Amino acid sequence: MNQSLNAAWPVVLSVAGFDPSAGAGIAADLKTFAAHNCYGIAAISALTVQNSQGVAAIHPVEPQILRETIQSLLADGRVKALKIGMLHNAATAQVVREVLDYHPALPAVLDPVVRSCSGVELLDASGLDFLRRELIPRVSLLTPNLAEAAALTELPVDNLESMKAAARKLIEMGARAVVVTGGHLEKAIDVFFDGTEVESFVGERIRPDNTHGTGCTFSSAVAANLALGRQLRDAVVLAKAFVAEAIRNAFPIGPGRIPLNHLYRMMESPRVTDHSAAIPEPVH
C-alpha cells in the first residue's frame, strides 16, 4: 500500500440522504470528492426510494444511529471538511448541530435541501425552522438555490437583485457566507456574499435538463476544495466551473432527469489540464 499517496488525499465527510440512482445525495458527494482527489466518507441521514423520474418515498435514519456513525467517523481524526445535505427533520438536524458545536473549526458547507425537483418535501416544517435558527450560524458556507433561499428568508427570489437581497438577509440571519445559486435562471448566475462584498459569477447555461444533483455536487465540490486548503471564494469559483463541466458531459441513465457526470475528467485526454476557460467571471 502506498502510504504517502493515501496521506495526500484529504478526507471529507458527507452527511446527507442516499439517492439510489446515484445522481444526488451521498453518491454524488462521494463521486465529487473523488474527482477532486479527496477521500469521501459518509453518514446517511435518510434512505430514499427514487429513480431518474422522481422520489417515491423517504425513510429517515434513526438519529442515534446517525449520531454514532458520525462520531465514529470523526474519531479517526482525519476529516478536513464537512458537507451537509438532506436532513429531512429536526431530530436529524439536531444531531448535525451537536457535531458542529463539538467541531467548530471544521469547515462545513450546508446545502439546505428543502424539496426535490419533482416536488417532494425533503425537509419538514420543524426541520426547516431548526435549520434556519440553529444551523445557518454554525456553518462556513450556505448554498441555497432560488427556492431554498426563498424558503429560508421568506422573500421572493427569482432574479439577480432578489438573489442579492436574499444573500444579505441570510447574513443578517447569522450566516458567515452564502452562495445563492441561480442555475434555473436564463443565465447561470450565482451570488456570493461573505458579509463584505456581494459578487455575481455568471456562467453559461448548459443543457438545462442535465441538472439532477447540481446542488449536491456544487456544495460537495466547495467542501472538497476547502479540504484541499483553498480559500472560500476560490473554492466557490472552482466548484462552479466543475459543475458546469459535469453538466456539459452528462448522459441519461433513464427517461427522467439527467444526472451530472461527476467523473467526466476520467474521459479526458491526459494532456488536457487547463480548465481555466470554464471558470466563471465575477460581475459586481
Number of domains in the chain: 1
Q: Say which CATH number the domain at 107 has.
A: 3.40.1190.20
Among all chains, which residue has been given the C-alpha cell 476544495? 225
pTM: 0.90
Per-residue model confidence as pLDDT tens digits over 18-51: 999 888 999 999 999 999 999 999 999 999 998 8
pLDDT at 277: 46
- Which three three-digit cell numbers place residue 225? 476544495
Per-residue model confidence as pLDDT tens digits over 253-274: 888 778 888 988 887 755 444 4
pLDDT at 118: 67
Among all chains, which residue has been given the C-alpha cell 438519529? 63
pLDDT at 279: 62
Domain that holds residue 239: 3-263+271-283
Tell me the torsion sign for CA atoms 43, 45, 49, 53: negative
For the chain, residues with pLDDT lower than 50 are 1-2, 5, 271-277
